[in-house]
Structure 1
């Protein structure tokens, strides 16, 4: 199977997914194997929602829509144009996936297969319904994928390299267990936003998407703000207001109530608006329903701090602060070439020979 065949298969997958990007699901004409897969995938979305209270349907549709938009022929070609694909003897790359947000491991799955290797997938129990259906669809639109995709719930065996995503604690286990294999081991990371006080209302409203999408559970969600010494949070809270219905979600509300009680009993100072708390804290990983913040005196010194802490940071949201910054409202809309932790999974895969 050549590269173009692999690209074509993923483009067809993107076309199939275009039917499931909003609650208004509509069956389209001219989608290969649609009679076989359409109802089944709709059922998998239902199962994913029912088996994970954090996987609200609109978040599943949002994730699917993101991949539908990325799996376009021009996007894929732009992504792959700088690489040389000359794998003559495919290897098996194991992928251990997180389950914090829907389809969070799909990019690794895509990278391994598009490179020409076989993939051995160990999914999180929190996100086990959608990706196997993707795999089955790929095998139908491109039969040469059969035998190249394997899922397991058991101990990983018979693989040549590994890409593993987990917490800082599990990463230490991964590093020991896979010490004799080529590997990418990802640890905890969080995203930050740098505010100057000059942000427009639209920019701050867009930032609310970076904060609340997926309930803030993703590494690309903004969990910390850096603000000027005299920053007034009134405009920030006003811009967050459109997300206030989130407090009606039981799992989110339970976390909000619990964390608020902890802060109050510990006599921590905080700001809150009934569905979001702001706490001054040097840490980068904030609990659900909480955003940490720090005040800065100098943007230049802040750049130095961010550089020093780069191994803890996934994205920086700002306007005119850094060359590699993310636009407000776009943290959950990465391109194919926006690699997690900045590690190029295609280059890694192509070196496994």
Structure 2
């Protein structure tokens, strides 16, 4: 299977997802449309965090990413030569819908085979997309394998998990080429120049997927003169999130814990702000930390970059993500800033 054939298959997958989101059902993809609809409904019932809105948001992002222009722009940065494929095992996380799809895409586009071990929290959607790809090009059947058992007969591994599981992964896979991902969080820098309108998109970075993704903002840095009232006004349009039971339960629990510990809190009825030096905040809460000098803060974040997935700001630096864009990464925006494609083509 050539690179062009692989690329064309994923372009067709992107078109299928685009049709699915827009509720178009071409006759040749009617079966897959019905399958994805069924698995979407099943995912909603199986995992309380996987709402229809969030699943469709994820599908929409992949429909947008899998275009001819985007794929060609991405792979043009690499020298992709046809070679004997290696088998790459992928241990996928399950915190947000299709969170492991980028690894899946990268492995196949690079000409390698993928051995997939899915999370039990997100096991229903990807098989439908795989079935579609195999229908487009049956050769994919030789390149894609799912397993629920112990991983065997692989040449390299990409594993995503918590800091605890990462230690196990690093030990267990030490003799194989590997990418091991640990916990990371995203942060936002707010300045006194940021208005309510500037900050409204930041709500998307905080609340999308209920804050469960590594690209979700869980910590904000505010200037010492910044008023948190400005932030509360900016994110208020997401207030209906408190109507989701699992989110509301976390909000109530974390608020109770904080109050019993007599922490000083700011609370607007659906989001808790707590001053804390940590990066990882519980669901329904965001930590904040004050700064007085922006250059000092940027230096601190650079020193602690191993804990940070991305930095969100109003164009403070070229490598920062704009407010509202954390959940819309480009194909070249790699998790943990590790170039997955470069790793794969050099196996």
Please classify the TM superposition score into its range, dividing by the shorter chain length: over 0.9
The whole-number CA distance in structure 1 between the counterparts of 2:23 and 2:252 is: 39
User: How big is the alpha-carbon RMSD for the aligned residues of Structure 1 and Structure 2?
Assistant: 1.0
Deviation (angstroms), 1:85 = 1.2
Name which of 247, 252, 268 aligns with 1:257.
Answer: 252
Residue 223 of structure 1 corresponds to 218
Pairs aligned (count): 347
Alignment of 1:59-208 (within 5 A): 59-208=54-203
Name which of 321, 328, 332 aligns with 1:333.
Answer: 328
Superposition TM-score, scaled by structure 2 size: 0.98
Residue 313 of structure 2 corresponds to 318
The whole-number CA distance in structure 1 between the counterparts of 2:83 and 2:331 is: 24
Q: Deviations over 1:213-257 (max 9, x none)?
A: 000000000000000112111111011111111111100000000
Matched, 1:247 2:246: no
The whole-number CA distance in structure 2 between the counterparts of 1:261 and 1:88 is: 57
Residue 5 of structure 1 corresponds to 5
Whether the 8 Å contact between 2:264 and 2:274 is mirrored in structure 1 is yes
The whole-number CA distance in structure 1 between the counterparts of 2:311 and 2:83 is: 39
Matched, 1:274 2:269: yes
Whether the 8 Å contact between 2:17 and 2:59 is mirrored in structure 1 is yes
Whether the 8 Å contact between 1:317 and 1:328 is mirrored in structure 2 is yes
Matched, 1:289 2:289: no
The whole-number CA distance in structure 2 between the counterparts of 1:342 and 1:215 is: 23
The whole-number CA distance in structure 2 between the counterparts of 1:169 and 1:187 is: 8
The whole-number CA distance in structure 1 between the counterparts of 2:314 and 2:229 is: 20
The whole-number CA distance in structure 1 between the counterparts of 2:272 and 2:317 is: 27
Deviation (angstroms), 1:36 = 2.4
Q: Deviations over 1:168-191 (max 9, x none)?
A: 000000000000000000000000
Deviation (angstroms), 1:322 = 2.0
Whether the 8 Å contact between 1:13 and 1:137 is mirrored in structure 2 is yes
Whether the 8 Å contact between 1:246 and 1:275 is mirrored in structure 2 is yes
Q: Stretches of 4+ moved more than 6 A in 1? A: none
**5+ unaligned residues in a row in structure 2: which ranges?**
none
Residue 16 of structure 2 corresponds to 16
**5+ unaligned residues in a row in structure 1: which ranges?**
none
Whether the 8 Å contact between 1:190 and 1:223 is mirrored in structure 2 is yes
The whole-number CA distance in structure 2 between the counterparts of 1:305 and 1:88 is: 43
